[in-house]
Structure 1
Amino acid sequence: MQMPITMHTNLVTLGQEKRLDGNVFQLILQGYQLFILDHPFTLSKNENNSPIGKAVVKELTWKEGSTYLVYELIDLHGVN
């Protein structure tokens, strides 16, 4: 059985993030995605917009065809 996988160098939320606590968020992505843990990523709301900050992925879980990410916002370029 093949498992398609994609490795990312930035994090695009599409407004689907859910705040867990303080600056910690959860994001559920379709398919199996791969992110480097504890490495700063550029954070964007969508692919065509400019970055809104930087985030560090703290936890990554694959299950049922989806990727569950827990990330911490470490730098915000603006207040909105």
Structure 2
Amino acid sequence: MNRPAPLPLGDKKKQQEMLDLIRKKQAEMESSSSEMHPDAYKKPEPEFEGDVNPKTGEVNGPKNEPLKHGDWSFGGRVTDF
């Protein structure tokens, strides 16, 4: 197969140890696939409960203010257009 892989090390024992560690980590990640990665971005907590925004009276709108920081944000990620 022609696919990306770690560069081979000069020492075969160290190479095998590295491959074993990679396989072990991949198996751990597959078994805990329902959990998010520790570095994954977490969505912000909603600013209010229920369907009606208490500040604006908007029904079924976003749970967080999309223009909170002067830029449009969705799910805590900001885009500037």
Q: What TM-score bracket applies, with the shorter chain setting the length?
A: under 0.3
With normalisation by structure 2, the TM-score equals 0.22
Greater RCO (CA < 8 Å, at least 6 residues apart): 1
With normalisation by structure 1, the TM-score equals 0.22
Q: Which has the higher helix share?
A: 2
Q: Which has the higher strand share?
A: 1
